[in-house]
Amino acid sequence: MDIQGTTMPAVVHALTRAATDTLLIELRHPDAAGRLPAAQPGDHIDVRLGKFVRQYSLCGPATDGRYLICVKRERGGRGGSSALHEELRVADTVQVSAPRSKFPLVRGERTLLLGAGIGITPLLAMAEALWDDGAAFDLWFYAPDRGRAPLIEYIATRPYAERVHLRLSSVGQSARTALPDSLDRADPDTQIYVCGPTGFMEHVRSHVRAAGWADEQLHQETFSLNAEAAAGLVTGDEFTVRVASSGEAYQVPSGTSIADVLRFNGVDVELSCEQGICGACLIPVLAGTPDHRDEVLSEAERAANDQMTICCSRARTAELTLDL
């Protein structure tokens, strides 16, 4: 998967150990006086290192011109987090995307933030914004123990630190035993934000539903490679795809794949995995430049731009002509 949309260089200003196997990375504009584009609380960015492109939530203040991301080394992952841990050095330049929103903060009368493990990161950006607004909020932070609670030293330096309630399963306070009492009573003026492992979020969701909260009051972001990939795979600018044999042209909106558009219009295409891993839907490209988002093509094949996977890849040009 490539970075979606335009990229910009950012310089690694500082690397800090934020917990066991967890790295806090501060990115800055290459010019000392420059500022990276402002973000919204809850935004994430794409970061490219070598062949890896990964999404990370911003965890610092959204508008100070710097990006703070926190990366946990995933031993079972696909190599992106390990590459960042092993290869990244202070003063390196990396390519990043502009901030994107998938987890926007909707201001309510009161806000409850619940994070577990590395899922704390977008919630810290929200806490920062809510504090600046003088809003009523609390942040409940669940971790196995202090050594595996990312960013606790960083949190202690922030003005909102007094609103953060650390709950450690090592002392018997897990999400199963120590959810905040305020979740037990549904309150129409409170918004709830949850981020963490799937099991944690499912537990909070069932607890909240049982207590009578409305679904619209619960906002959540999953930290899962598949969910991230599925959600991000086919978003991007709208473009036109043209079928060479018939000359017909179709619009491909954001969130819809070329294959879906073609099939909707009665053009027969063969698909298998539908997520850019198998190569069954590779189609020759006659004109235009693809935006390759699969993991099938090699670097050289990508650069040739003469074929593409139509289940997930998009266009860098306004129009693509496919040999169909």
Partner 1 sequence: MPAALTIPRECTFDPDDWRIIARYWYPIALATEVGEAPLGVKLLDQPLVVYRVDGETVIADDICPHRGVPLSLGTGDGRGIGCAYHGFRFGSQGRCVDVPAHPQAKIPSRLNLRTYPAVERYGLIWTCLAADAETEPEIPSHPHWDEAEFQRINCPWIDIAAFAGRQVEGFLDVAHFSFVHLKSFGNPDNTVVPDYAAVPTDDGFEVEYWSSVSNYPIGVVDRGEPGFQWLRHFRLHVPFTATLVVHFPDGARLSIMNAASPVSARMTRMFAPICRNFDTDQPVQAVYDFNRIVFEEDRAIVEVQKPENLPLDPKLEVHVPADRSSIAYRKALRGLGLGSFFTA
Interface with partner 1, residue 273, by CB under 8 A: yes
Q: Which is nearer to partner 1, 35 or 78 (CB)?
A: 78
E strands in the chain: 7-19, 22-28, 44-49, 52-57, 67-72, 93-97, 110-116, 136-143, 164-168, 190-196, 218-222, 239-243, 249-252, 282-287, 290-291, 307-309, 314-315, 319-322
Q: Which is nearer to partner 1, 133 or 270 (CB)?
A: 270
Token readout for 209 is 């539903």
Min. distance of Cβ 104 from partner 1 in angstroms? 27
Could you tell me the smallest distance in angstroms from the CB atom of residue 223 to partner 1? 13
Q: Nearer to partner 1 by C-beta: 45 or 297?
A: 297
**Are the C-beta atoms of 219 and 228 separated by less than 8 Å?**
no
* Among 5, 92, 277, 316, contact with partner 1 (rule: CB under 8 A): 277
By CB under 8 A, tell whether 231 contacts partner 1: no
DSSP letter, residue 105: P
Question: Which is nearer to partner 1, 97 or 275 (by Cβ)?
Answer: 275
Residue 72 C-beta: closest distance to partner 1, Å: 14
Size of the site for partner 1 (CB under 8 A): 15
How far apart are CB 123 and partner 1 at their closest, in Å?
24
Please report how many Cα atoms fall inside a 13 Å half-sphere around the Cα of residue 160, on the Cβ side. 26
Q: Does 170 bind partner 1 (CB under 8 A)?
A: no
Q: How far is the CB of 76 from partner 1 (least distance, A)?
A: 4
Q: Per CB under 8 A, which region of 22-30, 133-141, 208-216, 277-285 contacts partner 1?
A: 277-285
Burial of residue 122, with CB atoms counted within 10 A of its CB: 0-12 exposed, 13-18 middle, 19 or more buried: buried
278 is a site residue for partner 1 (CB under 8 A):
yes
SS3 213: coil
Cβ-based neighbour number of residue 106 at 10 Å:
11
Is position 37 an interface residue for partner 1 (rule: CB under 8 A)? no
3 state SS of 12: strand
Strand order in the sheet with 190-196: 164-168, 136-143, 110-116, 190-196, 218-222
| Per CB under 8 A, 280 contacts partner 1 | yes
Question: Residue 78, interface with partner 1 (CB under 8 A)?
Answer: yes
- Give me the residues that bind partner 1 (CB under 8 A), please: 75-79, 225-226, 270, 272-273, 275, 277-280
